[in-house]
Structure 1
Amino acid sequence: MEQRSLRVVSTNKNFFTKLTNTISRLLIPTKLGINGIMISIKRSSLVKAFEAYKNENKDEAKKENLSKKYEDAYTLYLEAIDKYIMDSIYKKVKNGTATEFEKDALSNYYEVIHLKQTEYLEYKYKKQQYLLQLDYQTLKSEENKIIPKYERFYSVKIEQLYKGVLKHYSIQLADNLTYQDKNIIYDKIFTLLEDYITEVLPLKLKLDDSNMYKNIISQYEKFDRFTVGKLDVKDTIEKRMILLGISRQLFTHSLPLVVAEQCYVKILKDLRQIIISTKIASKKEAAYKLLIELIEDYNIRLLSTKIYWDKPSDREEYKLFWNEYKKLQKSKEEDIEKYEKQKEVLFIKADLKKLQAARRDYSKIVDFYKAKLVELGAMREIKNKCKTSEKIYSRIKRQEKKEIG
């Protein structure tokens, strides 16, 4: 009996030793375990609240009540992740025991926090973005069973946050900014679009039961080839052109047409600058081919959908351009080579006319365009000067000149 008693006591000691060690691992030194448990609990509550809110479509009063519960659950969930960063990751980095992922996580966290003093609205959206993305990456690395349900919530909420930041940038562009400050906003817009298409769109495509994104698949595949390797300036502009094309279908409200137009004008200027500054003939020609593609993208994807024009004369001029473009489309099947040549001439003349009317000095790109028109047989060079017909665009003039070539 005495021996049995000793064995029981020994067993109990082992049990309590294990329990003490487990609690120590939970609480010391980083509180990682207990914070992880709290996040898991809050996450489960959030997913349930989200599903209840989304599934209620009949009773408006009930829907409103469920919406409040969902927002409360969301707030508590974010607070749990925030606490995890300060109680766990911060201490691990400080003690030199953090992984590279944790070091990057803390560094990115402070970048977001830094916005609070100068750009509070951007900070508000980006902090939520950061916390959600951090937890989602953690879930994926653990292959957690809640992932399928969580992804339904995550895809909706993260998209709302991206749209919020994008709308904020769009409003900022309406302010009286310096040239440098505008360029900073443009870069932020393109970076945000790229982040969305890289990090969020694949999930949206995965969850797309109704085939909502079928019209952007080809554009998305084109973008995908720019996600690997080092890009030169021309590649970056081409990538931005694709981003704008996709954005016209995904962000019509948060990136208004007037802002998208400014972004197009920005990359058109950048591409023209590459053409006149590049000395290597092959690179200059590649940039020119991209410019023709960009002009078409700008005119077809954006200007063709524009309803409100600052000047009625600009609208009428675009109508003339559009009619000529539509005529060309009819001849596309008959002779593709001739079609491409005529389209090129149409685009160059349209851009040339805008540049010649501008206040800035575009003489270098104007000279380049004129040389191209001579090469295409659409302009005749006489005594070191280029003379061309204005038949397509000079409807205002009473006397039309005969088209050459």
Structure 2
Amino acid sequence: MTDFHFDLHATDGAARTGVLHTGRGDIRTPAFMPVGTAATVKAMMPESVRETGADIILGNTYHLMLRPGAERVAKLGGLHKFAGWERPILTDSGGFQVMSLAKLRKITEEGVRFQSHVDGATFFMSPERSMEIQRLLGSDIQMVLDECPAFGGTEAVIEKSLAMTLRWAKRSKEAFGEQPGRGCFGIVQGGTFAHLRERSALGLKEIGFDGYAVGGLAVGEPQEMMFETLDFTVPHLPADRPRYLMGVGKPSDIVGAVLRGIDMFDCVLPTRSGRNAQAFTWNGTLNLRNARHAEDPGPIDENCRCPACRKFSRAYLHHTVKAQEIIASMLLTWHNLTFYQDLMAGLRGAIAEGRLKEYAAGLPFIAAAHEPADGEPNSGPK
């Protein structure tokens, strides 16, 4: 069994590239984790996800505890076997979903009592129960249970929530115990208040975690505010542990966060966009519903290695989208995940060669982020 540890291979300014070693395989960083919320990356087969270049996927404690149930997954051999994915899996603790999806919820020091958004059944989630569920699932990276206050809360509200999150983090770490080859990550909260982010990071370091996530961002704040928060948060995180920005994000978000020292990302955007006829390109996004693509014989990107680009035209993709054929979601999701993994590979290579700022400045989609979302044909990054 490989010990859970992080090897830093190169730095370029604040950016880093390395390898996170787990008992189920290595994760190259910076890494993007496709989201498999309910034990499936939507519209993708597990082997197809791997072909895009993904080293790890994400599952969700909240959704899996509701259905099919953690005990059932454990009885059937664990999440890896259940989902047909033998490489590493990170599980979110479920805290964000409890706060955002549950019909009714009551938060106490012990945990959160809530009603399922699926059928209204009542559940109780404590730090100990969250970690128990993640252990039953067999996840390789387990997140502490945290309280996730809404964006825009007052300093007093955020400070009170942060204190609860630190207490829950300690209980989560104690419940995690010793699991060879697996890691437990703390979650830095504190809103957009610099002194609260520092307090959170220092408190988590005192407890001691295998990795540190930055939570409470990508929840409605402008990109500039997110980057500013990272600027005053990341320096307080240990250099010898992986840093994970939760729920991010757009390609330009990822590039900006890598420049600020973040190592890991997850987001539903590439898969959700694929199911909604949007394709990411190096010049921005394409809307395959647009009639301009109806007779276009060219691919989304002539240099892309995904099946959507190697075998099919924009005209075909436009047709399948308009006809509401399932293959449209499959192909566009495959393309988007490939784009994201190619972006991560490009960032890793640029950091290793000490040319990240030049690489980032040359990415056409950074400028296109402020233009209409229908990019032109292109041949990828230079």
Higher strand proportion (structure 1 or 2): 2
**By percentage of residues, which structure has more helix?**
1
After TM superposition, the score normalised by the length of structure 2 is: 0.23
Choose between structure 1 and 2 for higher RCO, CA contacts under 8 A separated by at least 6 residues: 2
